């Protein structure tokens, strides 16, 4: 079984996923707009939906992050109630990723030593996605 985060953006999913592809050194395997769906009928969706991302899939070291733009026509309440957590055995790589995600965002906890890991930090990136980055754990398969 895999647990895969699915993030919803207001209208900047494409920009965010391209940023994550670079920052996380992943591979964007799919990014499809609503207009690219088979039998898309713009009359059945709110105005502006056609250009929004219906589905995106980013693969990073065999792990999957999926996302889309809010296309429901309902107000977008932002991202809340979750954090995407990344764990790296190498502190330098964890720091590189943390710094990339934090650029233009808001650092909630600076990247530094903790009692459970050689380094840990929390940030909300410029797209509103909350991240926690662990690095240098004694057991890299454990989040803490």
How buried is residue 67: exposed, middle or buried, by Cβ count under 10 Å (0-12/13-18/19+)? buried
Could you state, in order of their start, the residue ranges of all structural domains in the chain?
6-69, 84-135
Q: pLDDT-derived band of residue 132, with 50, 70 and 90 as boundaries?
A: very high
pTM across the whole model: 0.90
Whether 84-135 and 6-69 are alike in CATH topology: the answer is yes
The pLDDT tens digits for 8-51 are 999 999 999 999 999 999 999 999 999 998 988 888 888 888 99
R_g of the chain computed on alpha carbons: 17
Residue 107, pLDDT score = 98
Residue 135 has pLDDT above 70, yes or no: yes
Whose CA is closest to 100, among 23, 41, 29, 11? Answer: 23
Provide the edge-to-edge strand list for the sheet that holds 84-88: 84-88, 130-135, 119-124, 106-112
Superfamily of structural domain 84-135:
2,3-Dihydroxybiphenyl 1,2-Dioxygenase, domain 1 (3.10.180.10)
Residue 90, pLDDT score = 95
CATH classification for the domain delimited by 6-69, as one of 3.10.180.10, 3.30.413.10, 3.40.50.300, 3.40.50.920: 3.10.180.10
**Residue 88, H or E segment:** strand 84-88
The token duo for 138 is 């004694």
Whose CA is closest to 100, among 60, 138, 67, 62? Answer: 60
**Residue 63, H or E segment:** strand 63-69
* Placement of tokens 């980055």 in the chain: 133
Residue 144, pLDDT score = 55
- State CA 41 to chain mean position distance: 29
In terms of DSSP H, where are the helices of the chain? 13-23, 91-102
The pLDDT tens digits for 43-101 are 888 888 899 999 999 999 999 999 999 876 678 889 999 999 999 999 999 999 999 99
């Amino acid at each position: 079984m895999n647990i895969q985060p699915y993030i919803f953006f207001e209208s900047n999913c494409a920009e965010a996923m391209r940023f994550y592809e670079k920052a996380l050194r992943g591979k964007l395997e799919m990014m499809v707009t609503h207009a690219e769906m088979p039998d898309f009928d713009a009359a059945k969706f709110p105005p502006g939906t056609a250009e929004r991302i219906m589905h995106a899939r980013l693969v990073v070291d065999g792990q999957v992050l999926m996302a889309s733009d809010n296309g429901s026509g309902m107000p977008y309440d932002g991202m809340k109630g979750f954090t995407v957590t990344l764990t790296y055995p190498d502190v330098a790589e964890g720091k590189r990723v943390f710094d990339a995600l934090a650029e233009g965002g808001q650092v909630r906890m600076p990247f530094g030593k903790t009692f459970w890991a050689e380094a840990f930090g929390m940030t909300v990136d410029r797209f509103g996605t909350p991240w926690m980055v662990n690095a240098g754990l004694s057991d890299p398969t454990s989040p803490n």
